Amino acid sequence: MTDNKPVGFFSRLAPATKHSWAGFKAAYKHEMAFRQEVLLFLISTPLAMWLANGFVEFVLLMSGIVIIFIAELLNSAIEAVVDRIGLERHELSGRAKDLGSAAVFVALCYFILVWAYKIYTLV
């Protein structure tokens, strides 16, 4: 039986943060692509600070890597659920994994577009 007391923002914040951190650790431990994207983040952040003409441009440059992180985490979650359900080949399982991969691809294209435009404007 569940307790119907409303849960406040601050009482939920600590457990939510703990679960989110566990998700980041799991992605880093189990997903090579996520580790590569962390490396991209570590390289692109100081580069964005140097290249950006102001805060808004910095945020725009960094939005690319943030979107990649979001897409990769969701893709990894989809893959984990599909693999949990079963490892046998199924059309819908393959489609789910392909759609997650496509989301990461779109995020990478956005990152390249934003950074390529910034570099193009410098030349």
Q: What is the pTM of this model?
A: 0.85
Q: Which domains does the chain have, with CATH numbers?
A: 11-122 (1.10.287.3610)
Element (H, E) at 23: helix 9-30
Q: How far apart are CA 92 and CA 82, in angstroms?
A: 9
User: What Rg do the C-alpha atoms of the chain give, in angstroms?
Assistant: 18
pLDDT digits (tens, 9 = 90+) for 102-116: 999 999 999 999 999
Residue 106's contacts (CB-CB under 8 Å, 6 or more residues apart) are 71
pLDDT in tens for each of the 123 residues of the chain?
A: 555 665 677 788 889 999 999 999 999 999 999 999 999 999 999 999 999 999 999 999 999 999 999 999 999 999 999 999 887 888 999 999 999 999 999 999 999 999 999 999 998
**Residue from 118, 100, 28, 104 nearest 65 by CA:** 104
Tell me how crowded residue 70 is: count the other CB atoms within 10 A of its CB.
13
Active-site amino acid positions: 72
Copy the structure tokens of residue 85: 């359900």
